[in-house]
């Protein structure tokens, strides 16, 4: 019975990861495209597209996390260093991404006149600000750090899960 449940958890874990990366791809595309945009209408459309996939992104991320936390119980791996390092790295990615979103994209939504959130509280759209403020926020957005934190670190976690080096 435990072997069957373990297989299902692995399946759900991998499916959640695929779903997460598919849904979160809109946000990645947004980050690359926004850097060069100046037209408020296009910026609004790009931000709205990313916001549209937020719910499935969050659900799939937490599903991936919960199955990832459950699996070590079934395969008796809590004493393995790679499990703990994977958890620490993914917590870092999660915290950094939330910080990055709060620091850049939520502020950008407000500046271009879209409904926005501060923390978990939602606010209605306000009058758009001046383009200089928007350009300033866009210049602060580092795609390099997004690649390192959002791709390289999860790739390291994948390596740890596949090769289980320690």
Residue 141 confidence (pLDDT):
82
The sign of the dihedral angle between the CA atoms of 147, 92, 16, 98 is negative
pLDDT at residue 155 is higher than 90: yes
Rg of the chain over all Cα atoms, to the nearest angstrom: 18
Residue 95: per-residue pLDDT = 96
CB 113 within 8 A of CB 125: yes
Q: pLDDT tens for residues 72-98?
A: 999 999 999 999 999 999 999 999 999
Q: How confident is the model at residue 119 (pLDDT cuts 50, 70, 90)?
A: confident
Burial of 76 (0-12, 13-18, 19+ CB in 10 A): exposed
| Cα 67 to the center of its chain, rounded Å | 17
pLDDT at 19 (0 to 100): 97
pTM for this model (two decimals): 0.88
Q: Give pLDDT tens digits for 41-65.
A: 999 999 999 999 999 999 999 999 9
Task: Give the Cβ contact number of residue 75 at 10 Å.
Answer: 14
Is the pLDDT reported for residue 140 higher than 90? no
């Amino acid at each position: 019975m435990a072997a069957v449940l373990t297989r299902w958890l692995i399946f759900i874990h991998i499916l959640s990861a695929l779903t997460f990366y598919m849904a979160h791809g809109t946000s990645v595309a947004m980050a690359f495209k926004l850097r060069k945009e100046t037209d408020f209408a296009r910026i609004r459309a790009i931000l709205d597209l990313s916001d549209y996939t937020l719910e499935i992104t969050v659900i799939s991320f937490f599903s991936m996390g919960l199955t990832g936390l459950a699996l070590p119980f079934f395969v008796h791996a809590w004493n393995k260093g790679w499990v703990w390092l994977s958890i620490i790295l993914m917590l870092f990615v999660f915290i950094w991404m939330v910080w990055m979103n709060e620091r850049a994209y939520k502020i950008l939504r407000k500046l271009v006149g879209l409904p926005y959130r501060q923390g978990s509280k939602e606010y209605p759209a306000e009058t758009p600000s001046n383009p200089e403020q928007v350009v300033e926020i866009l210049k602060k957005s580092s795609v390099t750090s997004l690649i390192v934190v959002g791709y390289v670190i999860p790739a390291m976690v994948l390596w740890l899960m596949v090769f289980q080096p320690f």
